[in-house]
Amino acid sequence: MFLANREKPAASQSVRGGRENFSVRYYDLHVCYEGGERDAAELGLKAVEFPLHGTEVLAEKERELAAGLKHAKPLVLVASGNNEVLRAAAKIKQVLMLRSERFEADVGLLRIAAERNKAFEVPLAMLIESHGWRRAAVLSRMRSFLRLCIKYKAAYVITSGARDAYGLRRPREMIALGEALGLSHAQAKWAITEAPSAVLENAQ
Amino acid sequence: MTLIPTLREKRRYLLFEIACSSASEPEAKQALYAGLLAFLGEHGVALANPKLIEYDAKTRRGILRCRRDAVEGVRQAVALISDVNARRARVDVIKVSGSIKKAVQ
């Protein structure tokens, strides 16, 4: 299973009530602009800059997948609105992260991802860049998706998905937005600390 | 007439900084209040009772007051602000404190 030795926090487990532990390392596994790693470090995050240190494969058909994986960097993220493509990607060893563009619930996909140690990306940029009804819809879909991730024990990673320095968020804000997505404080913290750390370990 | 301490509204003061090229006080106030209203709604804002206490346009730092039990909601709303007067921006909460004095320290 994903994160064999790392226990996922229970929803009731609380780490609130004090300052954040500064010895903990916070990660942002998806920053897509030049200099993102430096800007993120100023906010207390260890970031992974795409496409410098990671490869994002946008595929709507399965045949596009293989082409995208050629010459890929160690950290491979497959993003698609088609769950069939994501299922196929989850079966590929090289792929470490998945992003469902529409956050559609697919129990089969979640089961495969949980079995094969793949993590789902939850990019905050989708929330930050949208407004009004659109933001409400994205929030609602992300909440349902994360609820199922927890139910089927699939890993999830909160990232900023920032396209510039203004898209980055501090760790405490990322946790707060995770809580807005229905996670407990401990689960949200896990999604920016231990879960991304395990993804990076797998990448190495 | 004053209220006894147990009946007084418990407040928190959020020291924030706007990462932006420039943001005057009216612009910052408008962006914060619009962001809070958009995310929390009229009912949520009424419960959170937020108020911009102080803002320094030079350092782009300010203090936002809210009810103690609404801090997380306010933090989420503020984190979702992406522009100030149509300029790209980010609002960072630097500190949450129970008094203005400690917030600015």
Q: Percentage of residues in chain B with pLDDT exceeding 70? A: 99
Instruction: Looking at the complex, report in whole angstroms how far the Cα of residue A173 sits from the nearest Cα belonging to chain B.
Output: 6
pLDDT of A33 > 50? The answer is yes
Q: What is the mean pLDDT of chain A?
A: 88
Phi, psi dihedrals of residue A199, rounded to the nearest 5°: -65, -45
Whole-number Å distance between alpha carbons of A192 and A159: 7
Structure-token pair, residue B86: 């149509």
Instruction: Looking at the complex, report in whole angstroms how far the Cα of residue B91 sits from the nearest Cα belonging to chain A.
Output: 9
Instruction: Looking at the complex, report in whole angstroms how far the Cα of residue A32 sits from the nearest Cα belonging to chain B.
Output: 16
By Cβ distance, the residue of B78, B80, B88 closest to A164 is: B88
By Cβ distance, the residue of A131, A168, A172 closest to B90 is: A168
pLDDT of A10 > 90? The answer is no
Exposed, middle or buried, B16 (CB in 10 Å: 0-12/13-18/19+)?
buried
pLDDT of B82 > 90? The answer is yes
Q: pLDDT tens, A72-103?
A: 888 899 999 999 999 999 999 999 999 999 99
Whole-number Å distance between alpha carbons of A47 and A176: 19
Contact residues for B101 (Cβ-Cβ < 8 A; gap 6+): none
Taking each helix axis as running N to C, give the angle between helix A171-180 and helix B71-79, from 0 to 180 degrees, rounded to the nearest 10.
110
pTM (2 d.p.):
0.90
Chain A residues at the B interface, defined by Cβ less than 8 Å, are 43, 127-129, 131-132, 135, 164-170, 172-173, 176-177, 179-180
A43:B92 CB<8 A: yes
Q: Would the ipTM clear 0.90, i.e. be above it? A: yes
